[in-house]
Amino acid sequence: MRAIARRKAEQVAARFVRATVLAADTVIDLDGELLGKPADAADARRMLERLSGRAHAVHTGVALLHRPSGIALDGVETTAVEFRPISADEIERSIASGEPFGKAGAYAIQGGARAFVQRLRGDLDNVVGLPLRRVGRMLEQLAAAVERAAP
């Protein structure tokens, strides 16, 4: 995730010489199996069935790149999420809503999938897709590093 976020930031920064770029990438870790975005309805169904009644980790890699100075920072935020058992009907309703598509692990905690969550340990914003507290700390670090690097 960290490397993917870094590549995303570098691709954007290459086009803008005075940019400060923030990029992120989120993946679901279910006992070492990494779940990205589902390819189709069958893939979304498979993911939600696997997550049902189980705990998993949400990892978001974040990269911050200040193009004028070349200073780059990155990190990973992890949040533990546990789903209650999800019925087949609930999975089908979720898929029919379109919510799983474009979402790591085939769910959006800020949407209908919040009803699946039994327990959450860590930063909710991370599960949504951008760990704001970590980003805030990184922006403070970047500002300090840019100030130190200034002539």
| Contact predicate 19/12, CB 8 Å | yes
Supply the pTM of this predicted model.
Answer: 0.91
The pLDDT score that the predictor gives to residue 36 is: 94
The pLDDT score that the predictor gives to residue 150 is: 78
Residues in Cβ contact with 69 at an 8 Å cutoff, skipping those fewer than 6 apart: 145, 146, 149
Q: Would you write out the chain's pLDDT as a tens digit for each of its 151 residues?
A: 889 999 999 999 999 989 999 999 999 999 999 999 999 999 999 999 999 999 999 999 999 999 999 999 999 999 999 999 999 999 999 999 999 999 999 999 999 999 999 999 999 999 998 999 999 999 999 999 999 987 7
Q: Where are the alpha helices (DSSP H) in 14-131?
A: 41-51, 88-97, 124-128
Nearest to 141 by CA among 58, 69, 60: 69
> What token pair was written down for 31?
């006992």
d(CA 142, CA 113): 35
d(CA 26, CA 59): 6
Dihedral sign computed on CA atoms, order 24, 40, 32, 119: positive
The pLDDT score that the predictor gives to residue 27 is: 95
Q: So what's the architecture of 2-149 in CATH?
A: Alpha-Beta Complex (3.90)
d(CA 144, CA 48): 43
The pLDDT score that the predictor gives to residue 93 is: 97
d(CA 73, CA 93): 40
User: Per-domain residue ranges for the chain?
Assistant: 2-149
Catalytic residues, which ones? 25
The pLDDT score that the predictor gives to residue 10 is: 93
